[in-house]
Structures are given as structure tokens and as C-alpha cells.
């Protein structure tokens, strides 16, 4: 296995006979910060290399649905730091995330956390790793000592630009991209995504926005482009449109989980696999319905409570299977639900508001459900009479 993309300040290989990491007593690396979890794998998304799971930031600024308050910012920064220190380098946001005067707050916070992560911790080092198998099939691990600046430089921000009614031209789409970049104060956005399609209600606007995707890629404002909430037919159309103009479609983001795996979602997944598009699954925990935290008699406050009241009573077969597998594996229900998305070849982006949630989500990495467990969950999902309501913006 080649390591041409690694630029370590130091490299050590020191596994003892029990496969435990060890350092000599005289080692100068005693102050290393060890990750809580080891997300060995990385996946390709177009030209980018990202963690197999990202973190979603819809809640960072959303008061109506998620109860955001600015007093949460210090904990959100802890969440960001914990994620990056444990190998997560993909963060999803949008220019519409944030309610009222807080519009764009999610992007602003991400930019702030990136800057302060670099400044506050530039003297510290992190331990990352790579694994490969020797010819005798023995597992060999290389631990790489990386500076914080290198870790920061590898962070990929995937932001989405809303198809607002007043964004009618490619030029306006480009300006939206520049505005997001300015809010985050970064040189280049990782993945620039069209938040939703207007094909169902404003087809002429759709083509203008597609032209905007081409423009932000050609101008170097983004490293890659993607779409969100595109159904199978429109996904193929925009793929062909971009390909004809020399722009690869790197990602497609849709609602995808054990309660959102209908015919359209599975067709989207198959299209992505055949065309080399990376599927990013948002709401992998069904807005919280797949956490095991809520019951028909214990519902969240606000608009989510109304939705949960309709759907939760019909999820019992699925929740029973999730709980059974979680107990057998000494995992939690959310970790099993997220791992299901990983095993389906998608990049889940669960939302996080607290350090506890971040730690739990990280526990979904580093292991895989068995084929029998996947079949059990698939069957339980099909037997559950209720499903998540699809996003109204998803096209056919």
C-alpha cells in the first residue's frame, strides 16, 4: 500500500505482541493526543479523500427545529475539535442553515472553528494511522505523527446553495458561492452543492442553476460539485449535463436510512454506484427516531414531536431488531443505525449538537455489521408499517 499522500513529521511503528500500541519510556512522543476511535478507512468523493462518516450541522443556528442558542457555541466548538481529532474531516452545511437573523450561522461557526482549531492547537500533535496487510497476511499498522496544520488543511466543507426564487442566473449562483466562502473565511470550498432541484415548479431556473454549478467549478471556487434532494431521473440528467461540460458530479445527497429506503432511494443508490457518484446520506437517524431515545409517550418538543407521533408507533419491529443487535455487539442503537448506512456504501452525516452525541456517533466507525445482521435489519425495516416522510423538494 502506498503512502504518497502522507507528509508526516514523524513515523513510528510500534505494536507489541498483543497488538497494543506502546511507546518506550524515553520516547519524545509521550504528550501525543490519542484519538478515542480509529477510523482507518478513507473514501474517495470525486477528487477528495474524506472520512467514511461526516458530521451534519443543520442544527448549528436552527432555533425552530433544533432549539439552537448562541450559548451552545462553546460546546459546538468542542464537538468540532473532537471530530477532527478523531479523523472526521467532512462537515456538511448550507447557506440556508440558521433561522431569521442567524441565517448562515452554521457556515460562520464552521469557519470560526477551523481558524481557532489551527491557532489554538498549532503546537500540538495528533496520532493518525494507516493499515495494510503483509504478504503473510499479518496486519501491520503505521502510526503517523501529524501537525495540526496538516489536519486542518485536510478538512472538507460541503456546503449547499439554496435554489431561492430570486437566484435566477448562473451569476447569482456564483455570488451565493462567494458569499458562503466569505462567511467561512476559507480560500476554497470542498464540495459546492445545489440544495434542491426546481424542476418540479420552475424548470427554466433549474438550467440556470446547473450553469452556476459549472461556473463555480471552472472558477476554482470549489474543488468538487454535488447535488442534494435529486431523484433518479433528474440525477441522471444533471450528471449528463455536467459531464458534457467537463465537470464531474462528485456527490449526491439524499435522505437515506433504515426508515428511508424506498424504491426511489434505492434506485438513486444504484445510479450513484454505476456512475461513480458518492451518495451522502442525510438524516441517517431519521431526525432522532432511530436513536431509541423516544417513544409514542415520550416525544421531542416542537415540530418534530408531531412527526414522531405519526411514525414512531409503526417502527416497533425495526427498533426491536436495532436494540437486539446493539446489545449483542455492546453498541448503541444509533451506532448500529449509522453503521447500516456505512455498510450500504454511503457516507452518513448524522447531526451533532453535544460532545456526548459526537462520541456516540464516532462509535459507529471501525467495525461492520455482518451480512446476517444487515438482512435482519432490512427485513425489520420492511415489516415496519411506517416510513419517514420524504423531503418535499426531492424530485423524481
Is 132 an active-site residue? no
User: Are residues 29 and 10 in contact, defined by beta-carbon separation less than 8 angstroms?
Assistant: yes
| Helix axes 105-121 and 73-85, enclosed angle (nearest 10) | 60
State how far the Cα of 46 lies from the Cα of 167, in Å rounded to an integer.
26
Burial class, 252, CB count within 10 angstroms (exposed 0-12 / middle 13-18 / buried 19+)? buried
Residue 228 CA neighbour count, 13 Å, CB half: 23
User: Are residues 123 and 84 in contact, defined by beta-carbon separation less than 8 angstroms?
Assistant: no
User: Are residues 207 and 162 in contact, defined by beta-carbon separation less than 8 angstroms?
Assistant: no
CA distance between the termini of the chain? 41
Cell 502522507 belongs to: 6
State how far the Cα of 192 lies from the Cα of 176, in Å rounded to an integer.
10
Helix (H) / strand (E) element for 280: namely strand 278-282
User: Are residues 192 and 186 in contact, defined by beta-carbon separation less than 8 angstroms?
Assistant: no
Q: Which of 68, 97, 217, 294 is catalytic?
A: 97
State how far the Cα of 227 lies from the Cα of 235, in Å rounded to an integer.
8
Catalytic residues: 97
Amino acid at each position: 500500500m502506498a503512502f504518497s499522500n502522507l507528509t508526516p513529521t514523524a513515523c513510528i511503528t510500534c505494536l507489541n505482541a498483543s497488538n497494543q500500541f506502546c511507546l518506550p519510556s524515553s520516547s519524545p512522543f509521550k504528550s501525543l493526543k490519542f484519538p478515542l476511535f480509529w477510523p482507518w478507512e478513507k473514501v474517495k468523493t470525486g477528487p477528495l479523500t474524506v472520512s467514511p462518516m461526516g458530521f451534519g450541522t443543520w442544527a448549528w443556528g436552527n432555533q425552530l427545529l433544533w432549539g439552537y442558542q448562541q450559548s451552545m457555541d462553546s460546546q459546538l466548538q468542542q464537538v468540532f475539535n473532537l471530530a477532527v481529532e478523531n479523523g472526521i474531516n467532512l462537515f456538511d452545511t448550507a447557506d440556508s442553515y440558521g433561522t431569521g437573523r442567524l441565517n448562515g450561522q452554521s457556515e460562520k461557526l464552521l469557519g470560526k472553528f477551523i481558524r481557532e482549531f489551527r491557532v489554538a492547537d498549532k503546537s500540538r500533535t495528533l496520532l493518525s494511522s494507516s493499515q495494510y496487510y503483509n504478504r503473510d497476511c499479518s496486519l501491520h499498522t503505521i502510526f503517523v505523527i501529524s501537525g495540526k496544520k496538516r489536519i486542518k488543511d485536510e478538512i472538507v466543507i460541503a456546503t449547499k446553495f439554496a435554489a431561492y426564487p430570486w437566484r435566477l442566473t448562473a451569476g447569482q449562483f456564483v455570488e451565493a458561492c462567494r458569499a458562503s466562502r466569505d462567511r467561512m473565511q476559507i480560500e476554497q470550498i470542498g464540495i459546492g452543492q445545489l440544495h434542491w432541484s426546481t424542476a418540479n415548479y420552475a424548470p427554466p431556473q433549474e438550467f440556470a442553476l446547473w450553469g452556476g454549478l459549472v461556473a463555480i467549478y471552472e472558477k476554482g471556487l470549489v474543488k468538487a460539485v454535488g447535488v442534494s434532494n435529486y431523484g433518479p431521473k433528474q440525477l441522471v440528467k444533471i450528471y449528463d449535463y455536467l459531464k458534457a461540460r467537463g465537470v464531474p458530479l462528485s456527490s449526491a445527497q439524499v435522505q437515506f436510512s433504515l426508515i428511508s429506503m424506498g424504491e426511489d432511494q434505492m434506485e438513486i443508490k444504484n445510479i450513484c454506484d454505476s456512475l461513480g457518484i458518492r451518495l451522502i446520506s442525510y438524516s441517517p437517524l431519521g431526525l432522532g427516531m432511530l436513536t431509541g431515545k423516544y417513544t409514542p409517550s415520550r416525544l421531542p418538543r416542537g415540530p418534530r414531536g408531531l412527526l414522531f407521533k405519526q411514525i414512531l408507533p409503526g417502527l416497533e419491529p425495526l427498533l426491536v431488531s436495532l436494540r437486539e443487535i446493539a446489545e449483542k455487539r455492546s453498541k448503541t442503537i444509533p451506532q448500529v443505525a449509522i453503521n447500516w448506512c456505512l455498510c450500504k456504501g454511503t457516507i452518513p452525516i448524522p447531526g451533532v449538537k453535544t460532545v456526548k452525541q459526537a462520541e456516540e456517533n464516532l462509535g459507529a466507525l471501525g467495525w461492520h455489521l455482518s451480512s446476517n445482521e444487515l438482512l435482519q435489519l432490512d427485513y425489520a425495516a420492511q415489516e415496519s408499517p411506517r416510513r419517514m416522510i420524504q423531503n418535499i423538494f426531492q424530485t423524481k
